[in-house]
Amino acid sequence: MNGGFHIVVCGSIVPDPLQTLAPIEGPTGPALKNELMLPAVLDPWAGHALYEAAHLAKNAPGSKVWLVSLGPKAKLQQLMMTIAQKVSFELVVLDGPAGGFTDPCEVAGALAGGIEKIPDLDRSRLLLFGGCASASRDAGVTMQMVGERLGITDQFLGVDELTVSEDGSLQVLERIEGGQYQVSVCTGAPAVLAWATGNLPEPPNNPQIGMMNMRTIMPALQKAQPAPVGAEGVSYLGVELPKQRRETRIVKDLSVDEIAREIVEWLKG
């Protein structure tokens, strides 16, 4: 590779999946109850994208990784206490809402704007990474829109594997229907890769990496650009928790044979 890749990862926070989520009517539309107070994690698929980016950067000398995050600055700062320990990157902060009820078009606009302002970003070497969907809005469209805004027309969705050849070409495995992968080869950067889980485990925390990263992350947080995205033009007519609640029959006193028989009857019924 000529000088490595410039990998920009888009990713932000989502509520920790173990938290209780309840919709409320906020001043600007739907929101989550106690939204700011809920412990947050890096959006899982974006997280995989970040780890893949770091892994790739390590193996392609001269590469550099940026994480572009749109979310409340204070929450992102808290997130950095975990993420910044795992891999090396530079942070670009867009201070705005990270909830699910914002419009992906506006989010994509803010992200693309933030990326365009990254100094020294070589667009010819750009690999735009992100999750295949967020765990909040779960639209699966933002990365493609950011890619379009940046003029990148080689895009991949639901990526689980990227192999870079010596000539710089990219072989990509994308999830498609029925547990299959589509295999494609792209001649090289620039490209958009919206990742699924990839193949890498979550790197362990390493406070030493964190301390290094924080030298640039804290100034980046201080320089956060406001990004007041919303959902203009969307009228939410209602947001509710699913009402369907089952009356669970708890079977404790049947023998294994009886349970098996009941299950088979149900399967065949």
Partner 1 sequence: MEKILFLAHTQADGTLPSAAREALSAAVDLCRGLAGSSLAVGLIGQEIKSAADAIASCGAARFLAVTGAEFAVSRYASDAAAIESLVRQADATLIVAPATSRFSRAIPGVVQRLQGRIETHISGLDVADGKLRVQRWYYRQRMVATLTRSHRPWFLVVDAGVFSPWEGEAGSASPENVAAEFPENCTRTRVIGVQSPSANTQTIRPEADVLFVAGAGWTKKQADGELHVKEAEELILDFLKKNNASLGSSKSLVDQSVEGEAVLPFMSHLNQVGQTGSTPRHPKGLATCCHGEEPHAVGWRFINERRAINLDANCGWAQGKADVLYVADAFQVMKKVNELLGQ
Partner 2 sequence: MDTTNSENTATEYLSTLPGDDVRQIMWRFADRYELQMIIQSARSLARGVVARLVAEGARNTHEWTEKKAQLLTGFDEVGLTTVFMDPEDGGFLAGPKNLALALVAFELSWVDGGAATCSLASNLALSPIHEKGTPEQRHTYMSRCVPPLPGEDRKPWRGAFALTEPLPYVGVDTGILSGKMRVAEWEEGKEPILHVEKRGRFITNMGFANFVTAAVDSDDARIKGSAMIILEEGDPGLFDRGATTLKLVHQLSSTSDPILSLKVPASRIIGGYTVKDGVIIPNINHGDVIESVFRRTRVPVSVMSSAKLLSAVEPVIRYQRTRFRGGAASSHGTPRYEQGLQQKEDALQRLVDVWASGEAGAALGFAAARLFDEFDPIEREKERVLAERGITGARAQMKLFKELEKGALEYLALANQPEGERDAARFQELAADTLVQFLITDSLANVFCPACKLWNTGYGATMMREAVSLMGGYGITEDCPGFLGQKWMDAQLEATYEGPEAVQRRQLSITMTNELFLAQFRQWIKDLRGIADQRPGTGACTLASAMELWLWTLGYLQESRDADGKPLYHSSRHGVVFPVADALCWLLTSRQQILDLLELEAKGPENPVVASGLAGFVNFFSDLCHVQAARSAGEVGRVCAELVYGYNRHPDWCRDAVETCFRGEQLDAMDCIMPGIAGYGRSLGDAVELDGTHASKAGPCPQESLQTFMLLRHRLDLCLTGARLAKDRAATAVSRVMIPEALDYP
Asked whether position 220 contacts partner 2 by CB under 8 A, the answer is no
Q: Residue 50, exposed/middle/buried by CB under 10 A (0-12, 13-18, 19+)?
A: buried
| 48 in contact with partner 2 (CB under 8 A) | no
207 makes contact, choosing from partner 1, partner 2, none, with CB < 5 to 8 Å by partner type, with partner 2
Smallest distance, Å, CB 64 to partner 1? 23
Angstrom distances, CA of residue 53 to CA of 50, 74, 238: 5, 25, 38
| Interaction between residue 206 and partner 2 (CB under 8 A) | yes
- Interaction of residue 235 with partner 2, rule CB under 8 A: no
CA neighbor of 107 nearest in space, from 97, 121, 92: 97
CA distance readout (Å), 32 to 22, 26, 28, 123, 241 = 6, 8, 12, 37, 11
Cβ 114 to partner 1 shortest distance, Å: 16
Q: Decide: is 82 part of the binding site for partner 2 (CB under 8 A).
A: yes
Q: How far is 82 from 47, CA to CA, in rounded Å?
A: 11
In the bound complex, what is the minimum distance in angstroms from residue 161's beta carbon to partner 2? 24
From partner 2, partner 1, none, interface partner of 180 (C-beta below 5 to 8 A by class): partner 1
Report whether 16 contacts 38 (CB < 8 A).
yes
Q: Which position among 33, 117, 223, 261 is part of the footprint of partner 2 (CB under 8 A)?
A: 33
**Cα distance between the two ends of the chain:** 59
Q: How far apart are CA 166 and CA 69, in angstroms?
A: 31
- Give the count of residues interacting with partner 2 (CB under 8 A): 43
Segment interacting with partner 2, rule: CB under 8 A, options 11-19, 46-54, 112-120, 131-139: 11-19
Place of tokens 């100094």: 119
User: Is 72 among the residues that bind partner 2 (CB under 8 A)?
Assistant: yes
Q: Which does 61 bind (CB under 5 to 8 A by kind): partner 2, partner 1, none?
A: none
Residue 98 CA: distances (Å) to CA of 8, 50, 118, 160, 238: 18, 18, 21, 25, 20
Q: Binding residues for partner 2, per CB under 8 A?
A: 16, 18-20, 22-26, 30, 33-39, 72-75, 78, 80-82, 84-85, 204-208, 210-211, 214, 218, 238-240, 245, 247-248, 250
